[in-house]
């Protein structure tokens, strides 16, 4: 359980992100999710923040974590993967939050297949970052830290 709500950021990762580093590195990069988590935790520490870093391939679990974030976190960074384009349930869970949400996509969703051009999450996020690979998580954390101060 998170001890300090005011300094904790939930980083939620959706389906297939557990395959980073092996799955289409030409699109998603060579960093694994563990690499991203390690670097992001170091950055969070330097910003005086704590991180809850999670990944699930299951929509309901991501919804549960959004609801948990409402009670336990100061902000959320989410890369919902393919659910970004399809999940009304995750969108609604994020919309119910009274804390800032930053959406991250590793690839530029607007330079890919047409179905990826629409994110249901973008409309309820304070910001959306796409196309910077793993660096997008760092931009999101920096931006979120600014919103929290």
28 in active site: yes
138 in active site: no
Using an 8 Å Cβ cutoff, are 43 and 51 in contact?
A: no
Instruction: Point out the catalytic residue in the list 58, 83, 105, 137.
Output: 105
Q: What does each C-alpha distance from 42 to 35, 37, 48, 50, 95 come to in angstroms?
A: 11, 9, 10, 10, 29
Residue/partner pairs of 29-32 with CB below 8 Å, 24 or more apart: 29/106, 29/133, 29/134, 31/133, 31/134
Instruction: Show which residues are catalytic.
Output: 28, 105
């Amino acid at each position: 359980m998170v001890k300090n709500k005011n300094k904790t950021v939930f980083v939620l990762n959706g389906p297939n992100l557990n395959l980073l580093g092996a799955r289409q590195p030409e699109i998603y990069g060579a960093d694994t999710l563990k690499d991203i988590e390690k670097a992001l935790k170091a950055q969070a520490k330097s910003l005086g923040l704590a991180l809850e870093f999670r990944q699930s391939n299951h929509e309901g679990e991501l919804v549960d974590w959004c609801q948990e974030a409402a009670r336990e976190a100061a902000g959320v960074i989410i890369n919902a993967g393919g659910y970004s384009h399809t999940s009304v349930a995750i969108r609604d869970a994020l919309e119910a939050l009274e804390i800032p949400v930053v959406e991250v996509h590793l690839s530029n969703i607007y330079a890919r297949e047409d179905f990826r051009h629409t994110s249901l999450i973008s409309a309820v996020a304070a910001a959306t970052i796409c196309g910077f690979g793993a660096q997008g998580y760092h931009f999101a954390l920096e931006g979120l830290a600014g919103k929290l101060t």
